[in-house]
Structure 1
């Protein structure tokens, strides 16, 4: 059966991530506590550091006057590719249909669906960079994505025949195509980037950034009716770290507000997937021989996605 993380474990993971991010922000801000002028945003009052002010107070002053945030609509668009689906170790009737042992299924693959959701971002200008460099963290609600197959697996039976008939011919299995969607999974999409703005006093402020994203997935569920004929298989997805490239621009508005367009490319990662404990029904063979025990089918997905976001933001 599919393994689920408890709500308590997920909450603890998110709290841990928040504490780690807060500690990082405090560490970066502390580098600026010796400065006499924290260089606030336009129209904000400069804060002069005081020898009597505590370290924590100086740090909070810096964060308050050198941070920004934005909230808007986020589009996750998947562009990845994958290896062929691979039957890991076919035995019995499955060996008659797929061939004994491990075998590739030509012209097939795995993929992920697309989705649109809310997206938020928190940014902090790095000390002593005159607001040219900033650290950004993008956050969003958990993304519920479809786990999909591609190519011939969508509309053609992967095991159309098996065994040999009395006259030496193959026997049709009647196993239907899988269709596009095999199941669903949830993903937490936080990513961290370091952003460079060449101009900091202009009405339009373009920027570039680089960073990383942890491809964390959970609550995996196989709900395909062909694969669930004799119980639900389990879905495994690896959790690598991907690289992030970023392009965007801020369009400044009055009162420290701005509009933002942001595009992030996420790649440089391979996600290994495996659907295990697969037993399918063959209308022509199962009444006599029972379920076709396929075992497990795996693939390696070359992860590539683009995150498009349009947002309203504010400098604090």
Structure 2
């Protein structure tokens, strides 16, 4: 956590040397970020076959593109676009299997932001909105197939709220450094079909999405 803080302090120092540029209604801000998707999962049992088995979801770091439109100088709307891949790891009675599945995740998220300091060079914001998560290209691992046979894995898409906090720090009159943190309410039911046998596990993934990037305002 020290690295983003040091980046922010350095950017704030650099920003002091440039003219202030107010945010205005009608402006667009396009950013490229690197984000860490960090699940904060709570998973149930894999039923009915593994009542003492469960799963966990690993982190991923990926590039992300987002677009912000300024409705007014204090209100903006942001849409993020990114996709990440996550390994699902066996736990409890399934811990000996290691990875049991993997899935790609596409979680477009739209938030409405309040910006209390449109003037000056440092622009904090808080936001809240909605997320729709699509799980795709979900596959069983070789260790799971070896243990129980050929298995089809499907993860139910998720819809839920999202919250965020962040700051844009002007580096020039158009370019800014961005630090951003989001929490997304993301729940899914994973279905594992092995022949006539169907197992299910409910997983609240609820990830934190931590990002740092550069934006250009138009």
Instruction: Report the TM-score, using the length of structure 2 for normalisation.
Output: 0.83
CA offsets 1:17-39 (integer angstroms, 9 cap, x no match):
xxxxxxxxxxxxxxxxxxxxxxx
Native 8 Å contact 2:153 2:190 kept in 1: yes
1:273 maps to which of 185, 190, 195: 190
1:214 maps to which of 126, 132, 141: 132
- Structure 1: 5+ residue stretches without partners: 1-40, 47-61, 88-97, 99-103, 156-177, 279-292
* CA distance in structure 2 between the aligned counterparts of 1:125 and 1:306, rounded to whole angstroms: 25
Cα 1:225–1:153 shift into 2, 3 Å: closer
Shift of 1:230: 7.3
Shift of 1:229: 5.8
Residue 69 of structure 1 corresponds to: 30
Native 8 Å contact 2:31 2:65 kept in 1: yes
CA offsets 1:28-74 (integer angstroms, 9 cap, x no match):
xxxxxxxxxxxxx9389x9xxxxxxxxxxxxxxx85xx111111211
**Alignment root-mean-square deviation, CA:** 2.3
* CA distance in structure 2 between the aligned counterparts of 1:185 and 1:302, rounded to whole angstroms: 15
Residue 61 of structure 2 corresponds to: 116
Native 8 Å contact 1:223 1:232 kept in 2: no
* CA distance in structure 1 between the aligned counterparts of 2:146 and 2:61, rounded to whole angstroms: 28
Cα 1:306–1:205 shift into 2, 3 Å: same
* Structure in which a larger fraction of residues adopt strand: 2
What does 1:221-300 align with in structure 2 at a 5 Å threshold? 221-228=139-146, 231-267=149-185, 269-277=186-194, 295-300=197-202
* Structure in which a larger fraction of residues adopt helix: 1
1:133 maps to which of 41, 66, 75: 75
Instruction: Report the TM-score, using the length of structure 1 for normalisation.
Output: 0.58
What does 1:23-38 align with in structure 2 at a 5 Å threshold? none
Q: How many residues are treated as equivalent by the alignment?
A: 199
